[in-house]
A and B are shown apart, each in its own frame.
Chain A
Amino acid sequence: MTLELKGVSKRVGGEVHIYETSLALAESGFNILLGSTLAGKTSLMQLMAGLERPASGEIWFDGKNVTGVSVQQRNVSMVHQQFINYPNLSVFENIASPLRVARLPSQEITRRVESVAELLRLSPMLKRKPAELSGGQQQRTALARALVKDSDLVLLDEPLANLDFKLREELRDELPRLFADRGCTVVYATTEPAEALLLGGHTATLYEGRVTQFGETSRIYRAPKDLVSARVFSDPPINTAAVQRQGDTIILNEQVRWPANGLAMPDGPYTVGIRPHHLTPRAAGANAVQVSGQVQVTELSGSESIIHFDLEGRSWVSQSHGIHPHEVGEVASFFIDTERCLYFGPDEALVA
């Protein structure tokens, strides 16, 4: 099943929610919509599902134009961030509901519901009402309803965001397995770059109603097309600074400069992007250079240190393994792994 958006846009009142977007989703694996809140992930999904009509453009399923086709006529299913089930129906009837609407024979319905319930470990709960289930089970019920339909397009709108972290990890591991051999296109919206990387597949980065880049997740992460995509796909936020290339050297300031080995870009001003884990308290890589700044905030988790420090008026973030305690206010040194830096031109496009 293929899904293609051709110049689709969406306006609500005078506001543009989705700027003209063209996107051809990958047929297998996950298509991840990555962007912060209000980036337009849900709006884009509503357009894909047919819940909303685009202001312009066309939507094609399997080579057919379905722009004007109602959501009921498209074979899609959707899971929302909130645990949405029909409160007045039992779990069994909740899962069965798309099949009941499609008027399948009741034996067939029972068979399919039971097999999906088995898969999602809901079998003992089939007689209960959704309100009597835990959050994880409620979301499983919603997923089961999406699965039982055998739809061509499955839209998952931040399905794990309202779950606690343990359930989230558990369900995140299960998800790709659940959809693996169903031959459906899965679209998965998330705000977390880490989740996108864990799920793999393809990713579209969204920023303020625009798809800034689409491609294989790992490739997009390694080579963001521009600064905006790099910002969307970085958590903690990517560190940036204005630099100058002069001959064989990249100059950040008087003290901090590093060799521009093999960078195919002419002399001139650039913006350097340094991911937080390439800015560490210990030197990494052959050409690490040292910067120092005043520590503002330190976040020490069990095995990781995130240190925010001030560098000439900019707030930079360092992310590193191990515990590196620093007092707030003290001046600490960090090392830039200069071989992993991203360089963006004056138009914010990636140059090297």
Chain B
Amino acid sequence: MPRLRGLPLMLYIIFLMLPIYWLLNMSFKTTNEILGGFSLWPHEFTLDNYREIFTDPTWYSGYINSITYVVMNTVISITVALPAAYAFSRYRFIGDKHLFFWLLSNRMAPPAVFALPFFQLYSAVGLFDTPFAVALAHCLFNIPLAVWILEGFMSGVPRELDETAYVDGYSFPRFFFKIFIPNISSGIGVAAFFCFMFSWVELLLAKTLTAVEAKPIAATMTRTASTSGYELGLLAAAGALTIIPGAIVIYFVRNYIAKGFALGRV
């Protein structure tokens, strides 16, 4: 009986893992084998696809560009969101609730809406085709998200903690960095994770705002054909490598995410 009970779960996991397996499977095949017919595992096992990615600058610079703007974006988003979230959680000011909702509603607009104005604006000020352009554009979505998540965590810290620290003689900056931030570190982890993930998977803005210099991996990867015809093996290897950063980040915040869910902010 216990074996039977595990069966649906097994099927579900197989169903989930199948595309990833297939991607890995393809990444170790030659393009000829992929196009040649159906095979469950690579018959001519090859690492050439990966070798190509790590040696050809048009490929690996995509990763470097992506990581650059993703990290920039995460740092900017968290840095800006921390004081904003603190204000929303600790102070009452005119229109605070409306502003808070408006911030969130930014996330409801599809990125395509913003692609054109950003493209024109960044071209005009000379930011086009730099990692900075993408990092800033992604802030539009990530800052509200980070504020929303951090506000939840901050409101979970009793206001009396602030008061106690002031009574003890802490100045605001000292309290904020020495006492408050360590207390919401898990929230910062969760917010950073979501900023990272969004920025890492977002394609449209990243593609629109870059050309050659700052081309992200997602743009490189999604061109299906090149001068040498279909390079399916190469694309599969690139895809497999793209999963890795997300997997690493989620490993570090896996315990905090549950807390975020408990606060209703994830």
Q: Is A198 an interface residue (CB 8 A)?
A: no
Q: Is A290 an interface residue (CB 8 A)?
A: no
Q: B179, A86: Cβ atoms under 8 Å?
A: yes
Which A residue's beta carbon lies closest to that of B92? Answer: A13
Mask, A115-157, CB within 8 Å of B = 1, is 0000000000000000000000000001001000100000000
Q: Is B56 an interface residue (CB 8 A)?
A: no
The residues of A that contact B166 with a CB separation of less than 8 Å are 51, 70-72
Q: A78, B182: Cβ atoms under 8 Å?
A: no
Q: A84, B158: Cβ atoms under 8 Å?
A: yes
Q: Is B79 an interface residue (CB 8 A)?
A: no
Contact with B168, one of A46, A82, A145 (Cβ below 8 angstroms): A145
Q: Is A87 an interface residue (CB 8 A)?
A: yes
Q: Is A49 an interface residue (CB 8 A)?
A: yes
Which A residue's beta carbon lies closest to that of B163? Answer: A51
Interface size (B, Cβ < 8 Å)?
17
Q: A77, B168: Cβ atoms under 8 Å?
A: yes
The residues of A that contact B165 with a CB separation of less than 8 Å are 86, 97
Q: How far is the CB of B134 from chain A (nearest CB, A)?
A: 35
Alpha-carbon gap, A149 to B169, bound state (A): 10
DSSP class of B's interface residues: helix, strand, loop or mixed?
helix
The residues of A that contact B160 with a CB separation of less than 8 Å are 80, 82, 84
Q: Is B171 an interface residue (CB 8 A)?
A: yes
Q: B179, A101: Cβ atoms under 8 Å?
A: no
Q: A97, B183: Cβ atoms under 8 Å?
A: no
Mask, A287-300, CB within 8 Å of B = 1, is 00000000000000
Contact with A78, one of B164, B170, B171, B174 (Cβ below 8 angstroms): B164
Q: A71, B167: Cβ atoms under 8 Å?
A: yes
Q: How far is the CB of B86 from chain A (nearest CB, A)?
A: 17
Known contacts A88-B182, A88-B183, A97 near B168 by CB under 8 Å: yes
The residues of B that contact A51 with a CB separation of less than 8 Å are 163, 166-167
Q: B167, A78: Cβ atoms under 8 Å?
A: yes
Contact with A102, one of B169, B179, B183 (Cβ below 8 angstroms): B169
Which B residue's beta carbon lies closest to that of A97? Answer: B168
Q: A84, B179: Cβ atoms under 8 Å?
A: no
The residues of A that contact B92 with a CB separation of less than 8 Å are 13
Alpha-carbon gap, A162 to B114, bound state (A): 52
State which residues 64-87 of A face B: CB under 8 Å. 70-72, 76-78, 80, 82, 84, 86-87
The residues of B that contact A149 with a CB separation of less than 8 Å are 168
Known contacts A88-B179, A88-B183, A80 near B169 by CB under 8 Å: no
Q: How far is the CB of B167 from chain A (nearest CB, A)?
A: 5
Known contacts A80-B160, A84-B158, A84-B160, A49 near B183 by CB under 8 Å: no
Q: Is B35 an interface residue (CB 8 A)?
A: no
Q: Is B47 an interface residue (CB 8 A)?
A: no
Q: A76, B167: Cβ atoms under 8 Å?
A: yes
Q: A101, B174: Cβ atoms under 8 Å?
A: yes
Which A residue's beta carbon lies closest to that of B161? Answer: A84
Q: Is A98 an interface residue (CB 8 A)?
A: yes
Q: How far is the CB of A265 from chain B (nearest CB, A)?
A: 47
Q: B170, A101: Cβ atoms under 8 Å?
A: yes
Which A residue's beta carbon lies closest to that of B172? Answer: A72
Q: How far is the CB of A12 from chain B (nearest CB, A)?
A: 8
The residues of B that contact A88 with a CB separation of less than 8 Å are 179, 182-183
Alpha-carbon gap, A49 to B182, bound state (A): 26
The residues of B that contact A70 with a CB separation of less than 8 Å are 166
Contact with B171, one of A72, A98, A102 (Cβ below 8 angstroms): A72
State which residues 151-167 of B face A: CB under 8 Å. 158, 160-161, 163-167
Mark A residues whose CB is within 8 Å of B. 13, 46, 49, 51, 70-72, 76-78, 80, 82, 84, 86-88, 97-98, 101-102, 142, 145, 149
| Known pairs A72-B171, A86-B183, A97-B170 / 13 extra A-B pairs, C-beta < 8 Å | A13-B92, A70-B166, A72-B166, A72-B169, A78-B167, A80-B160, A82-B158, A84-B158, A84-B160, A86-B179, A97-B168, A101-B168, A149-B168
Mark B residues whose CB is within 8 Å of A. 92, 158, 160-161, 163-171, 174, 179, 182-183
Listed from nearest, the 10 A-B pairs whose CB atoms lie closest are: A88-B182, A101-B169, A98-B168, A80-B160, A78-B167, A84-B160, A71-B166, A84-B164, A72-B169, A97-B168
| Complex A-B: 8 CB contacts under 8 Å | A13-B92, A51-B166, A71-B167, A84-B158, A84-B160, A84-B161, A98-B169, A145-B164
